[in-house]
Each structure stands twice: as C-alpha cells, then as structure tokens.
Structure 1
C-alpha cells in the first residue's frame, strides 16, 4: 500500500461518516500519540476527537447536554495543528459539513496539504446503528417511524441521515473543494476490521501494527430491548422537562454506557431491518456506488460490497412494535444511573486513564507552572 502515502507535510482529514469505524480509528490514534511523534505524525487535540470544535465550524447543534461549539473553539483547534510533518484530524461530524463549511475547514487546515478520507460501510449495516445513536442522544422515534421518515419521505434530502449517508453526495462535496485526486474512499472490510487501521498507517507512513484498537472504546450495538429501554427513558425525560445536562450525565454517560459495558446475552433480540427497508436501501446503494465510481476519487477496498443485498425471505415483513425488557437489562440500566449520580464525572479512574496516555512532557506541562518546569 505504498502508493497511499501522503506527502511529508500532508494532513489526512478523516470526515467519517458515522458508524464506519470512526471510534476505533480515533481511539487508536489518540492512544498512540507518543509513538506517532517518533514517526513524525501528529494527532492534535486534547481528546479522542474534537467534537466541540467541529460543531463550531460545521454549525451542528450540540449533543444533548453538551455545550455548544463556536468558531472560537474551531480556531483554537486549528491553532494547535502543526504546519509541518504529517497530521491526522478525524471527526465523523465533518460529514455534516456543506458548502461554505467545507471550504472553511479546508482553507483553515491548509488547502495545499489536506487529503480527505471517507470510510464507508453498507447502508443496511449503518442504518440500524445510526437509529440507535439517535436514540442514545435523546430521540424518541421508534425504528418503524424513523425508517418511514428516511426511506419514504418524498424529500429525503431534508434528513440529517442522508446528509451524512448519501455517500456519493458526501464524497462529491469534499472532492469539489480539494479535487478528486485528493479524496480517498476506504471501504471497511467486514471480515477484517484491523485492515482499516492498516490503511491509515500506510497513508501516514507508520509501520504495520503501530495503531492498535482500544478494546473498551469499541462501540457494540445495543440489543432491541436495550434501545427500547433508553427510548422509554427519553420519553420520560421529555415529559418531565428535566435538564438536558442531566440527560447527558444519567442517560448518555450512565445508563447507555452501563448497558454496553457487558456483552449482550446470547439470543437477545437484535435490531433488524424489515424487508421493505432493505429493498429500498438496495436501490439507493446502487445509485451511491455508481456515483462514487463516476467521481474519479481513489477507492481502497471492494466498492461493490457497498451494494445492499436484495431482501431475503427470512427477514421480517415489518418491525416489532414493542420489545420485552429483561430484568437484568433493567437492573444494569438502574445501576448505571446510580453510578453516574454518586461518582463525580471527573473521578479518579478516568483521570488516571488519561494520565497514562499522556507523554511525560505533557504531564509536566499541565502540573507545573511554566517557570518551574525542567
């Protein structure tokens, strides 16, 4: 994969979209920052991904309970990006950028050095995960209602889902600004997830195996009962008029994390698309693949694997209207909320984990005043 290597001062801009291995990529780069520097690669920012800064330049509303991003947040992040050496910037929220926002991102990061990477999976894998993510951010729509909204709406472009996941349009938005020769589409290999990290290593000149997935940050999908429990909590939150900051603390960081902290029970009901939705995604995916192929961008992987297979007879005709929530799932959710209430959000364990990931120079810089360093 030597032909993938960026120029010495190139900036790899990973724009997602959501649910395409972004968390694994970001965690691997953030966790390996100290080693990356030895190879002349920088992953700027103080967290796994600069969500607030990107929201500020793209114009996205914040996630429920989070502070709003501003252009000042974006400008501070840009100021932290070195102008020499290879740099990696990754956020799935760049996939929401359109028009002037795309131009601003490229201009600020350096129009002569930016190379855009888009990671893609098949839409029938993305759609159930994206609905779950919306629910975990406070949405109350059932799977049935949400699918009808994105797949049967006469003007689907109004949907935030299609702004992110009409992948041919997403690729074209960035290619129109940086040029198709500086856009790479990476098709995720569902049989070998580690291959995604190997592609990123090749693009920035890292030896194989430097990037390692962080196991506790690999987002597993929720089961249907787990999603329905969170959706029920969302209705209660809205009905009671509770503070969005409490939603962030008790549901997003408490309940949802607790539910996903253990593997699902064998045989637990999964989120499954009905046959009519699969048929619709099959048609859309054919257009998407044709559009990407015609765009002239570089493709790594099997582009045809993005075509959703025709629905089989084994799939459900429609989605279930309700799901029984097992007692152990409910208990784990309650425990997560209680833990969020009694453990400070800036508790000792998260702090120690962050400290372990810092290079010594950064620890000294944060602990000692400038005049006492060394």
Structure 2
C-alpha cells in the first residue's frame, strides 16, 4: 500500500542550519524521487533573484541531465540521443564562469556515479575542496511506487509486485533495474561520496512529506538566501502516473518490444508524445486507483530504512531532519483501499484519447531520428488546432507521394 511516514517529535537538529561558506559549490546529487524536480524548478525560476544575493545557478536549463549522464558514463533515456562529453564540458565552463561566488548544481543522476573514481573526477572538475555534497532522502516505501512507474516510462515491462519480488526477495536484487540499489541504498550512496569529499563536506537532508515547503527552506538556509525566496513551480509533466495509466504503458512496452520497433520511436512517440501529452492534459481524479505497495514490501523497506539510517548516522556527516522517518512507516487512512469497494484500475477514455493524440501529434511534428536541435516548443505546448493542421498537411503530402 502507499505509505505515509509520521513522527512524534520535531527534528533534534533541524532548528538552526548553518549556511555554507561563501564560494561553496553546492552539489545536490538526489537521489531520484526525493523532491529533486521540485527544487530544481524552484532554483531555476529564482536564478536571477538568487544572483542578487550572491548565489549562482550555472546551468542553462532547470536540469542539466545530459551533462551529468555523460559525466557518469550513463546512457540517456531509451531512444534518446546519447549524451556526449561536450555536454559535461559545457556545464563545467558555466560553473567556472561563476568565479568565486557561491553556486548550486542539482541532478539526481549524480547518484548514478558507478564508483569512487568517477565521483572523485566529478568533484575535482567541479572545484575540489569548494564542493559540498547534499543528499536528499525519503523512505524507500515512498520511493518504490514512484520509481517503478518511472522505469515503466523508460520501457520496463515487469508488473509492480513482480518487480518488488526481484528487488527485495531475489538475490542479487539487481534485476531488472540494476540502477535502483545504486541510487537507493542510501547508506552506501552517502559513504561513497563522503569517502571522496570527507564527511564534513556532506549534508544529508531527510525530506518530511508532511511539510512540502521544508526542502525549499533548507536550501535557502544552506545557501544563505532570504526565507521564502524559493517557491514551488507547478509542473504537470512531473506528475506520477496512476496504476491504470502505468499498466496501459507497460502493456504497450510489451507490444513495442515484441515487434522489435526502433527505440527512437519509443522516445518520440511514446514517452515524449503519448505519455507527455496525457500527463499535461489529464489530472488524476478521486476515482483513479493509485499504485499500492503490499504490506510485506512496506515492512521489508522499513527494515532496510532502519539499517541505512543507523549506518548514515555513524558516518559523521551533517544530518538535517529526522532520520527515524526512513523507517517509521504508517499507512495513511486516505491511502488505504476502501474495504469492499473492489476498485479496479481502469483508464479514463479521456486519458486514453489524449495519449493517442499525443502520439499522433508527435509523429506529425518531427522526424523519428533526432538529427536537429530540439524545437523551442514541445508537442504538449502546442495548440490542438495547430497540431491537427500540421498532421493533416503531412498525411496529405504522403498520400500525394504515393
């Protein structure tokens, strides 16, 4: 079942957060599903105001994903163009351009750095002793359903409960998504980066889901910014899929693989076409069934969380927030399936129509292969009337050619 983590007391060390020294390069490494997209949007939106207070956002976008993937020797999302070293070099140039001013870089893909050598190279290139690493954490039971549906958006075909079985009960626990435990064995993640920069230059922030603004306030305090300068930016494209939406996509993934279609088609038509348009135009309603984690998995995740909290506490890193949240899991009354309702995950006709339309519009809007730079407007930002006109013209052109 979905989980809600509660605690009885306030964080013991959360009252006062000492700002980092001027000139620090704050490196936020995620990991995934710990509020990264929200804080990246807020930092990017406030970059001009932050600069007036001596803090720079050196990246040209809200998330320098390609640059960080290249730095970690990771491939891009399924069907996307492969990131190159030039992406990383460009980000480094922008970081160096901040001079002696404080700066902040954020990407959850830094958590995918495969080994100490990669971490050491990243830290050295970003400024060596000027780098301070920030890790944001949430309980595993909160992360698992979100991470599963994200993997499905990148081509995963395995159902949620089967995926949990492999993740939690089948050694070596690395199939079919080996990146999960590299990202979310949080004690090892903290230890890996602390070995390189030293425990005194690592801050771990435990995100409290009861207070959606707490992460913003923590970043402001660490960076020496005025309170409430950072504000959440609405982003429908970042919402999680419902169970029915995820199952629709998972079954599409099976058909896609069975027919051996090119991965470029998946990137263009499925992830950036059908799924993106559906997420931007359809908000989940009260009758939509959520992705529910079985009780056995919740309990296993809580046990792992307790073990991770203990190990992180012994590393000597600075901790902001309540570490007991990583293991204190309690079901929320509003998240428990209602007894006797027999809720069945059914995708709304409107959502299915928007998904189909998004795929058609993507097919009309660009060639399959990404030979040209991305356009300034994505498909889901273009009006339906204009997309229909473009699609019609392309269909007529192809008919004439035939």
Please tell me the TM-score bracket, short chain as reference: 0.7 to 0.9
Matched, 1:84 2:100: yes
Correspondence for 1:130 among 147, 150, 158: 147
Matched, 1:279 2:299: yes
Cα distance, 1:157 vs. partner? 5.9
Contact between 1:274 and 1:315, CA under 8 Å: does it hold in 2? no
For the residue of structure 1 that corresponds to 2:128, the secondary structure is coil
Matched, 1:9 2:28: no
Contact between 2:237 and 2:276, CA under 8 Å: does it hold in 1? no
Correspondence for 1:69 among 83, 91, 95: 83
1:264-316 Cα distance to aligned partner (Å, 9 max, x none): 12121110011221121121111011111111111111110111527899679
Correspondence for 1:298 among 318, 338, 343: 318
For the residue of structure 1 that corresponds to 2:227, the secondary structure is coil
Contact between 2:205 and 2:320, CA under 8 Å: does it hold in 1? yes
Distance in 1 (alpha carbons) for counterparts of 2:337 and 2:169: 19
Change in CA separation of 1:78 and 1:257 when aligned onto 2, cut-off 3 Å: same
Cα distance, 1:347 vs. partner? 5.2
Matched, 1:147 2:164: yes
Change in CA separation of 1:35 and 1:227 when aligned onto 2, cut-off 3 Å: same
Contact between 2:302 and 2:326, CA under 8 Å: does it hold in 1? no
TM-score (norm 1): 0.86
Please identify, of 130-139 and 46-55, the stretch whose mean Cα deviation from structure 2 is larger: 46-55
Cα distance, 1:329 vs. partner? 2.6
TM-score (norm 2): 0.81
Residue in 2 that maps onto 1:18: 32
Contact between 2:288 and 2:345, CA under 8 Å: does it hold in 1? no
For the residue of structure 2 that corresponds to 1:88, the secondary structure is strand
Distance in 2 (alpha carbons) for counterparts of 1:197 and 1:342: 40
For the residue of structure 2 that corresponds to 1:89, the secondary structure is strand
Distance in 2 (alpha carbons) for counterparts of 1:47 and 1:275: 40
Change in CA separation of 1:166 and 1:349 when aligned onto 2, cut-off 3 Å: same
Contact between 2:136 and 2:207, CA under 8 Å: does it hold in 1? yes
Please identify, of 112-121 and 207-216, the stretch whose mean Cα deviation from structure 2 is larger: 207-216
RMSD over aligned Cα atoms: 2.5
Matched, 1:37 2:46: no
Residue in 2 that maps onto 1:246: 265
For the residue of structure 1 that corresponds to 2:135, the secondary structure is strand
Cα distance, 1:31 vs. partner? 1.6
Runs of 5+ unmatched residues, structure 1? 354-374
Higher relative contact order (CA 8 A, sep 6+): 2
Residue in 1 that maps onto 2:9: none
Distance in 2 (alpha carbons) for counterparts of 1:51 and 1:298: 27
Cα distance, 1:209 vs. partner? 1.6
Residue in 1 that maps onto 2:132: 115
Residue in 2 that maps onto 1:264: 284
Distance in 2 (alpha carbons) for counterparts of 1:132 and 1:153: 20
Q: How does 1:304-343 map to 2 (within 5 A)?
A: 304-309=324-329, 323-343=345-365
Distance in 2 (alpha carbons) for counterparts of 1:111 and 1:161: 28
Aligned residue pairs total 348
Change in CA separation of 1:80 and 1:228 when aligned onto 2, cut-off 3 Å: same
Residue in 2 that maps onto 1:366: none
Q: How does 1:44-55 map to 2 (within 5 A)?
A: 44-55=58-69
Distance in 2 (alpha carbons) for counterparts of 1:292 and 1:215: 33
Change in CA separation of 1:42 and 1:312 when aligned onto 2, cut-off 3 Å: closer
Cα distance, 1:33 vs. partner? 1.6
Cα distance, 1:197 vs. partner? 0.8
Residue in 1 that maps onto 2:255: 236
For the residue of structure 2 that corresponds to 1:80, the secondary structure is helix
Please identify, of 175-184 and 261-270, the stretch whose mean Cα deviation from structure 2 is larger: 261-270
Contact between 1:120 and 1:188, CA under 8 Å: does it hold in 2? yes
Contact between 1:279 and 1:310, CA under 8 Å: does it hold in 2? no
Change in CA separation of 1:70 and 1:343 when aligned onto 2, cut-off 3 Å: closer
For the residue of structure 2 that corresponds to 1:112, the secondary structure is helix
Residue in 2 that maps onto 1:359: none
